Amino acid sequence: MVSREVLSLEEHIRSASQQAQLGSRASRPERGANLSEVQEESASRAVSPEVEQDGGLGISTGESSDALPEVASNTLDSSFTPSGSAVNSLHGSSEHGGWVTNSLSPVNNRTASGARRASSAYSVPRWNNSPHSGPPSTACSPRSDEDLPKSLRWSTAYGSVASSRSGVRHRSTLSKDAGATALYILPASESFWADCKMEAEPDDVLHDPRLDPVGVDGSGIVSTRRAILNLGTIAILGMGLLLLFAGYPIIAYVTGDHESTKGAFNLGGTNSSGQVSSLASDFPGWKTGSTGLIDPDTPKDAYTRKGLDGVTDFDLVFSDEFEVEGRSFYPGDDPFWEAVDLHYWATNNYEWYDPAAVTTRNGALEITLDQYVEHNLNFRGGMLQSWNKFCFTGGFVVASVRLPGTADVAGLWPAMWTMGNLGRAGYGSTLEGTWPYSYDACDVGTLQNQTTIDGQPEMAVTGGDVLFNRKHNSNALSFLTGQKLSACTCPDDDHPGPKNKDGSWVGRSAPEIDVFEAQSTGRKMTLSQSAQIAPFNYKYKPYNTTEPAYTIYDPLRTIENTYTGELMQQAMSAVTDANQAAMQRGGDAEFSEYGFEYQPGHGGYIEWVSDGKPAWRVNPAAMSADPRVGIAERPIPNEPMYIIFNVGVSKNFGTVDWDNLQWPATMAVEWVRVYQPKGQINVGCSPESMPTADYINRHLEAYNNPNLTLWGNTPEEGGYGANWPRNRLNPNGCNAQASIFPGSPTNPKPKAPHLREDQIAEGESF
């Protein structure tokens, strides 16, 4: 029969503590004592009852059996045992580094005479020399004695305890005369005791002490397919969450559509006063003829029309009916228009252009010129532009206009005109070298003064012998700086593009086509309807050809303009009578239609309309080559063109009748519309065939500072300071040094001779 002695956990802990203290004092061997004496002393303190192993709590009961029972054998984790420490006999007490081994755990022993004796051997760990702080729970992990250095192996009076690492239950390997020995190592803190059971716990599926731990020396990893799968799943979930909450918003922003400012200050077209233009509702498809560019107030019957040939179908691509009262055209206030704030010095105007002079009233756009002192000028006028907001290439542009003032009083200069988007009206630096060119050949026509450095062709040197050059005291054909963005531009120099198939640049510029510039003769109101062109013909007149350069439909209403050009421009122009009733004063307050239709490119044409009827036409022959001055055929402007309305006053355009002018003078525009041939829609200020956006963005200062008057030069001279693109026809060509001045940087041209007025256009008179 087996007798059991059962101790409660509380009694067990109390007994362990007492024996640990006794063992610590009594079991320490004296210096020089041998191991057998210590073991005998330990055996004499053993209790007499035979015990049977009760796993887990360190409680054993005697049992009469020679069989070697299975016991849980735990060894000290080497990571917590200082190197070189010696662990002495289980029977007794030894102090080794940070650990103290005391009589605590009962083990079965058999004496040499066969008497069964039970001795208690408890191991109480001391961590950092303190019995109150236990080591980590891995101190209870089973270890093979063979894994430890020989000096650190646990030994008994009967042999070494060799523990297997294969499981929780281990069999001690002793000498054949020895009994069974069970070894437990308990942490000093009871919070770690659960780990010493070496069993899986039902409420902790993740912790199973029976699994192999990391190697004794700290090397190795625990790796299973399930662990890899778990970690992989966590990684995939983590990446998915990252993609959802970080990646998706970024991808959606980069690839998605964004709300446009529609030319205003804020998203959705909101202007500085918090309003949204009625035209700013939608901007889809700039190149598809979408109704996003058509004012909803435009009558449906105005959505299509016939071309001036009476055959070609045209579709409406843009309109503004100006029906919304009190619109503001300060910068950022409107999606398609902006009123400038500057002095138009290029034509010596008397007024300052101010956005305050432009608004909408009574269903029309109104631009007012008045006697109002501003910026030390005596007048305030207005100029409205669609620059870099709305542009078109080819088609028919028309507006319903009531002209300012009185038909028989001269001096006002109202105008509606268009210009290529690479030049911004009023911003002189952007116009130097771009206005009024329309040219895509690489020849002398692109050079400064339209001549080579040795003065060729000769007829270009004196080809400006006309009356309008008398005021310049010169008979030279051209004082232009040369085409800045020509087809001769060196391949690596600054240019908006595009390139031809041979790698050369397409010639670019800022040409001008005027719907009208109104001028009173003192008896009636007339309209100058013109195209400003460069390079120039000899004496600013088309070269004789077999085809007519111009077609005038009604000679009683329209005549060829006597003004054909001067040093800075050539004008292909005619003068047509305006509708005398469509005037601010002296008429019946009605409106009249003025516009032009044109086909861009070589072989193209321009045809003007006055009072709703065709007035005159520039034919392809007018643009033909002129061998007298060495220039090739010029194309009808194929640049994206923007629209300008303005009212000013200047002696440059004629005599001013200061005594009879009445103030304020207001030009009213009932509506403006743009049509293009069906299937040939081309709207936008930077089309692929004629881009402008990147170039403008590279030179924003020039396009936004009206005080810069020159492209290159120095700031002291009013220059933007940019290098002029090199022209390969100049000396040294593309190997020439870059320069901020036009022309050849190494071979500057001599100034034209100064002539008396009577030496120019001899015998001619106005």
**Model confidence band, residue 462 (pLDDT cutoffs 50, 70, 90):** very high
Phi, psi of 733 (to 5 degrees): 50, -125
Q: What is the pLDDT of residues 549-573, one digit of tens each?
A: 999 999 999 999 999 999 999 999 9
Residue with more model confidence, 12 or 624: 624
What percentage of the chain carries pLDDT values higher than 90? Answer: 60
Contact (CB, 8 A) for 616 and 550: yes
At residue 210, the pLDDT reads 65
Segment among 227-231, 263-267, 733-737 with least mean pLDDT: 263-267
Would the pLDDT of 678 be above 90? Answer: yes
At residue 197, the pLDDT reads 60
Residues 6+ apart with CB under 8 A from 489: 495, 505, 725, 726, 727, 728
At residue 254, the pLDDT reads 85
> Average of pLDDT values for 354-366?
97
Phi, psi of 244 (to 5 degrees): -70, -45
Query: Would you kindly state where each structural domain of the chain is located, as residue ranges?
Result: 9-197, 224-256, 291-759
Cα distances from 495 to residues 1, 434, 690, 725, in angstroms, run 110, 12, 11, 8
What SS3 state is found at 735?
helix
Residue 352, amino acid: W
At residue 252, the pLDDT reads 86
Phi, psi of 459 (to 5 degrees): -70, -20
Q: Measured on CA atoms in the order 518, 519, 520, 521, is the torsion positive or negative?
A: negative
DSSP string, 611-634: TTEEEEEE-GGGGS-BTTTTB-PP
Q: What is the pLDDT of residues 394-452, one digit of tens each?
A: 999 999 999 999 999 999 999 999 999 999 999 999 999 999 999 999 999 999 999 99
Is the CATH number 1.10.3210.10 carried by domain 291-759? no
Residue with more model confidence, 2 or 637: 637
Calculate the average pLDDT of the chain: 79
> Average of pLDDT values for 614-618?
98
Q: Find, among 180, 197, 215, the residue nearest to 140 by Cα.
A: 197
Would the pLDDT of 319 be above 50? Answer: yes
At residue 188, the pLDDT reads 58
| DSSP secondary structure letter of residue 696 | H
At residue 173, the pLDDT reads 42
**Model confidence band, residue 536 (pLDDT cutoffs 50, 70, 90):** very high
Residue 615, amino acid: A
Q: What is the pLDDT of residues 150-168, one digit of tens each?
A: 444 444 433 444 443 334 4
Q: What is the pLDDT of residues 479-534, one digit of tens each?
A: 999 999 999 999 999 999 999 999 999 999 999 999 999 999 999 999 999 999 99
Would the pLDDT of 765 be above 60? Answer: yes
At residue 693, the pLDDT reads 96
| DSSP secondary structure letter of residue 700 | H
Would the pLDDT of 224 be above 90? Answer: no
What percentage of the chain carries pLDDT values higher than 70? Answer: 67
Omega cis (within 30) before 664:
yes
> What's the number of CA atoms in the CB half-sphere (13 Å) around residue 764?
13
Residue with more model confidence, 214 or 687: 687
At residue 54, the pLDDT reads 41
DSSP string, 49-117: S-B-EETTTTEE-B----S---B------GGGS-TT-----SSS-EEETTEEE-S-SEEEEE-TT--EE
Quick one: how far is CA 378 from the chain centroid?
A: 45
What SS3 state is found at 378?
strand
Rg (CA), the chain: 51
**Model confidence band, residue 288 (pLDDT cutoffs 50, 70, 90):** very low
Q: What is the pLDDT of residues 33-52, one digit of tens each?
A: 444 444 444 444 444 444 34
Q: Find, among 90, 113, 83, the residue nearest to 35 by Cα.
A: 90
**Model confidence band, residue 763 (pLDDT cutoffs 50, 70, 90):** confident
Measured between alpha carbons, how far is 428 from 703 in angstroms, rounded to an integer?
9
Residue with more model confidence, 205 or 230: 230
**Model confidence band, residue 608 (pLDDT cutoffs 50, 70, 90):** very high
Quick one: how far is CA 413 from the chain centroid?
A: 43
